[in-house]
Structure 1
Amino acid sequence: MTSLIPWQQRLSTGTEDIQDEVIRWYQQTRHGTAYVPHMIWGTLQTEAYANVILRRVVDFLGVPDDVAAGVAKRMERQQVLYDGEHHYDVILGEQALYTNVGGPQVMRGQMERLLRDIELPSLALGILPTTAEVSVVPMPGFDLYDGGRAHYELVSSGVDITDQDELTLHEKAFDALSRAASHGDAASSLISKALVFWSQD
């Protein structure tokens, strides 16, 4: 089954309520996976980076402006990385390290955060190099949650998929992306390279 709900409906009261919903998803998911090709996964975003992202969402969709409250909730959601009860396998596209969100200062702080958090026992972070050969066709980012659900964020809508055959294909796709990604020291090296880029005068 696939459900599609327009963002302007889901965000009709602002960003805080949906962040509460996402917190519940993550708290209920003991082992989750995420593929994010063009930006930083929300659960690893710095406060400054998240502020820029949610500001853009509010301005683009014309929904109620509660960016500060939404950012606070996004920061609260990140506690799942530190409570010892959850584990996440995350693949970021190398492009995510270079997509300009808020300018060099914000991006430097974000790269420094990634370099710290890559060592967390709750996190397996991979970086998919731009030139990596992957055995699946290019695809948008998605999250997989316990309980049988894949989630996509499109321009106008959020999409949830619960059909088991479709979920199996998502798991297969994530495995292929993970095999092509760099992990450990190789992933840290790619992040460090991006940090140097954003630190140039």
Structure 2
Amino acid sequence: MQTRHGKAYVPGMMWATLQTDAYASVILRRVVTFLGVPDDVAAGVAKRMERQQVHYDGEHHYDVILDEQALYTNVGGPEVMRGQMERLLSDLDLSSLHLGILPTTTEVGVVPMPGFNMYDGQRVHYELVSSGVDVTDPDEVALHDRAFAALSSAASYGDAAGDLISKALAFWSKG
């Protein structure tokens, strides 16, 4: 990956670079089915898993905020979600990752917005249903950085984030 410092706000699902292979398989299968595109799920999952190596190379850093809802959006059922919560708990200690969870009931100093990714403070990317949009105007990028800061100041980090993830793990472990 070219980006050395990325930021991501992901309201309803797991950020791709934190997904387990099972979670990624479900997501990519849904994309193939919904869009009616050629089935390249196995290759897509392999590429997604390969990209995750940025967490271990010592050259990249990512600030990621997930809405608490992302911990409960059912992607693939309880088994997939348990594995995903376990993965998040193990990733909390990565030096390359600053993972925040935005609690559902927390007041945030910015209007609700769709998720976005920021790349080295130069570009903002939005994923749409079938394509993506890039924002590169410096004033717009600066506004997104301010929005991310507001989300970040409301998010829970460290042990507090771990508590929210553990609560979700307990939910998915009911049986």
- TM-score, normalized by the shorter chain, greater than 0.5: yes
Q: Deviations over 1:87-146 (max 9, x none)?
A: 000000000000000000000000000000010000000000000100100000000002
User: Shift in Å at residue 147 of structure 1?
Assistant: 6.3
1:55: how far off?
Answer: 0.2
Look up the equivalent residue of 1:112 and give its one-letter code: E
3-state SS, counterpart of residue 53 of structure 1: helix
* Structure-1 residue corresponding to 2:70: 96
Matched residue of 2:160: which SS?
helix
Q: Deviations over 1:152-175 (max 9, x none)?
A: 011232111110000000000000
Determine if contact 2:121/2:141 at 8 Å carries over to the other structure: no
Aligned residues: 175
SS of structure 1 residue aligned to 2:132: strand
Structure-2 separation of matches of 1:178 and 1:102: 28
1: distance between equivalents of 2:23 and 2:71?
Answer: 12
Residue 80 (structure 1) aligned to one of 54, 59, 79 = 54
Normalised by the size of structure 1, how large is the TM-score?
A: 0.86
Question: What stretches of structure 1 move > 3 A for 4+ residues in a row?
Answer: none
1:160 corresponds to: 134
Q: Distance in 2 between matches of 1:155 and 1:131?
A: 28
Specify every segment of 5 or more residues in structure 2 that has no aligned partner in the other structure, as ranges: none
Amino acid in structure 2 at the alignment position of 1:139:
M
- Equivalent residue for 2:43? 69
Identity over the aligned pairs, expressed in percent?
Answer: 79
Q: RMSD of aligned C-alpha atoms? A: 0.7
What CA distance in whole angstroms lies between the structure 2 residues aligned with 1:66 and 1:39?
A: 21
8 A Cα contact 2:8 2:65, kept in partner: yes
Q: Name which of 157, 163, 169 aligns with 1:189.
A: 163
Gaps of 5+ in 1: 1-26
Q: Cα deviations across residues 57-101 of structure 1 (Å, max 9, x unaligned)?
A: 010001111100110000000000011110000000000000000
